[in-house]
């Protein structure tokens, strides 16, 4: 294949992706229409028809329920109100993301005005970038219905909120959705204060961006310094950690693992109170040891244990925070309030479960979700902390462990030179008489275990 042919393949596959997205839109709308028709025949009120379809779409797409709801809304809008955008997607002229931008920027308009924006943008869809496309569509929408634009802006202000989501390196994004004027004022204030701190020489080798981040934490929490965060440490103890002192990473509920050293630094550097709670796991499964309750609701330490076990919503592919501790087998059907029957769910998944045709089968080993169409989706309960597995094959029993270092081999490899066996600083044990030997790429015969180790290190 030539370079030009490779580019042609990339372009063609992008069109195929868009066409597949258009077909998915068609089938999503078809599922919704069929479900509403079936529920109408059963006498379900019109306002209640189609509940639960978004959750089924999410499971079929292996995505979260909130994403399923968004995809259902996009599909219905494209099929009903944006025919030009849908056709451009079907032809592969625009991406699925561009189609979603058109839906987003016209979602608050009445149907006729939405279709007019779609017609006005028909010749611009393929040639504009994402940012420009959204801006032009928004300008047409605001021109066609200024009053609705004002009402939309007022609703947007009512949806202001603060959220947090994990980021690489043990970090997190703290996001505040604010009116534009307030957001700009907050940043300008932090910039002025940080510039003053850096200018007076009291930044202690921090950059201006770092000072701004620290000032935000101090002003929001009222702490003297950003590091003085009260910490409750849930120290999950495996049998190895308990008996042999094996190190395990910390685990921040809802966000994932944190390096053990980073967690220790957070505890050591904080002048605030630190609470330590030890939790123990079963040696075979790595799951938390359970608790039972005779109460109707999951509360106290049992509730906390379930949250620690699940980490995020138990529904397959849903990563939303846990809001409800629910009975997998409902209490009205005799389900017990115990460790075996507990499920940590987000509010959306818990309410979806109550719709007709939905069933959950749960135990400590996992959860099975059965949808109204009879499809089944499983999610196993894993260990609280993922197990550590060896990355290299075990050395043959009875042989002394070799001393392995590869400074010369690694250096020559990065220079693009072949690596003869003698270039590697390696000491191998004597060859057992009955061990199979295989030829190495450079013609040297090596024991299989030796060759695997040699290649992995080199």
- 376-405, pLDDT tens digit by residue? 999 988 776 665 555 545 545 555 444 443
Tokens of 252: 């921040």
Contact call for residues 358 and 371 (beta carbons, < 8 A): yes
Chain centre distance of CA 326:
23
Residues 205, 208, 213, CA angle at the centre, nearest 5°? 100
Structural domain boundaries in the chain: 3-158, 162-221, 231-280, 300-380, 403-457
pLDDT tens across 209-246, in order? 999 999 998 888 888 887 776 666 555 555 554 444 45
Residues 6+ apart with CB under 8 A from 345: 313, 314, 315, 322, 323, 324, 325, 326, 353
Q: Which pLDDT score is estimated for 69?
A: 94
Spans in the chain with pLDDT lower than 70? 229-297, 299, 384-458
Q: What is the pLDDT of residue 403?
A: 42
d(CA 187, CA 275): 34
Strand pairing class (274-280; 231-237): parallel
Measured CA to CA, the distance from residue 97 to residue 105 in angstroms comes to 12
Measured over the CA atoms of residue 175, residue 181, residue 182 and residue 188, the dihedral's sign is positive
Please, what sign has the CA dihedral across residues 352, 355, 358, 360?
positive
* 399 secondary structure, DSSP code: S
Write phi, then psi, for 250 (nearest 5 degrees).
-75, 160
Could you please report the per-residue DSSP string of 284-337?
A: TT-PBPP-B--SSS--HHHHHHHHHHHSS-SSTT--PPP-EEEESS-GGGT--S
Q: What is the pLDDT of residue 106?
A: 94
Query: How far apart are alpha carbons 184 and 306 in whole angstroms?
Result: 41
The pLDDT score that the predictor gives to residue 172 is 85
What's the pLDDT at 259? Answer: 67
Contacts of 384 by beta carbon, 8 Å cutoff, 6+ apart: 236, 251, 279, 281, 286, 287, 288, 308, 309, 311
Closest CA to 83 of 99, 104, 105, 101: 99
CA distance 258 to 250: 5
- Judge contact between 340 and 363, C-beta under 8 A: yes
Identify which of 377, 261, 271, 401 has the alpha carbon closest to the alpha carbon of residue 315. Answer: 377
| DSSP state string for 67-129 | HHHHHHHHHHHHHHT-HHHHHHHHTTSS-HHHHHHHHHHHTTS-HHHHHHHHHHTTTTTTTS-
Residue 200 has a pLDDT of 82
Q: Which residue has the tokens 């693992």?
A: 257
Pairwise CA distance, residues 73 & 428, whole Å: 63
pLDDT, residue 227, reads 75
CB atoms within 10 A of CB 20: 14
Among 423, 412, 417, 421, which Cα is nearest to 443's? 421
């Amino acid at each position: 294949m030539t370079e030009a042919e490779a580019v042609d393949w990339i372009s063609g596959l992008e069109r195929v992706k868009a066409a597949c997205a258009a077909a998915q839109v068609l089938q999503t709308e078809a599922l919704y229409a069929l479900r509403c028709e079936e529920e109408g025949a059963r006498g379900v009120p019109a306002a209640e028809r189609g509940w639960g379809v978004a959750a089924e779409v999410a499971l079929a797409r292996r995505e979260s329920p909130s994403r399923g709801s968004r995809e259902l809304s996009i599909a219905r809008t494209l099929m009903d109100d944006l025919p030009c955008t849908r056709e451009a997607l079907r032809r592969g002229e625009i991406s699925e993301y561009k189609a979603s931008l058109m839906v987003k920027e016209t979602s608050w308009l009445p149907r006729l005005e939405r279709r007019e924006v779609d017609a006005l943008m028909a010749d611009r869809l393929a040639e504009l970038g994402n940012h420009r496309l959204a801006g032009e569509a928004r300008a047409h929408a605001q021109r066609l219905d200024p009053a609705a634009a004002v009402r939309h802006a007022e609703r947007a202000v009512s949806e202001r909120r603060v959220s947090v989501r994990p980021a690489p390196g043990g970090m997190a994004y703290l996001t505040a959705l604010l009116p534009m004027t307030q957001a700009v004022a907050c940043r300008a204030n932090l910039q002025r204060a940080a510039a003053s701190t850096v200018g007076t020489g009291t930044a202690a080798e921090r950059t201006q961006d770092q000072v701004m981040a620290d000032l935000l934490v101090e002003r929001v929490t009222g702490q003297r310094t950003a590091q003085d965060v009260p910490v409750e440490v849930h120290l999950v103890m495996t049998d190895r950690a308990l008996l042999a002192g094996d190190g395990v990473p910390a685990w921040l509920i809802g966000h994932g693992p944190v390096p053990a050293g980073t967690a220790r630094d957070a505890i050591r550097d904080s002048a605030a109170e630190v609470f330590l709670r030890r939790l123990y796991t079963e040696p075979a499964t790595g799951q938390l040891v359970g608790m039972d309750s005779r109460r109707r609701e999951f509360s106290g330490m049992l509730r906390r244990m379930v949250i620690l076990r699940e980490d995020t919503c138990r529904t397959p592919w849903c990563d939303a925070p846990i809001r409800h501790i629910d009975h997998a087998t409902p209490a009205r059907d005799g389900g017990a309030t115990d460790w075996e029957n507990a499920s940590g769910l987000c509010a959306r998944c818990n309410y979806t479960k109550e719709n007709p045709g939905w069933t959950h089968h749960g135990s400590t080993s996992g959860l099975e979700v059965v949808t109204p169409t009879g499809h089944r989706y499983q999610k196993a309960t894993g260990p609280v902390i993922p197990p550590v597995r060896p990355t290299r094959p075990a050395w043959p029993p009875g042989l002394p462990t070799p001393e392995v270092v590869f400074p010369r081999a690694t250096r020559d490899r990065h220079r693009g030179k072949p690596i003869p066996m003698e270039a590697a600083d390696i000491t191998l044990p004597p060859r057992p008489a009955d061990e199979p030997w295989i030829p190495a790429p450079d013609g040297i015969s090596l024991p299989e275990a030796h060759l695997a180790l040699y290649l992995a290190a080199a």
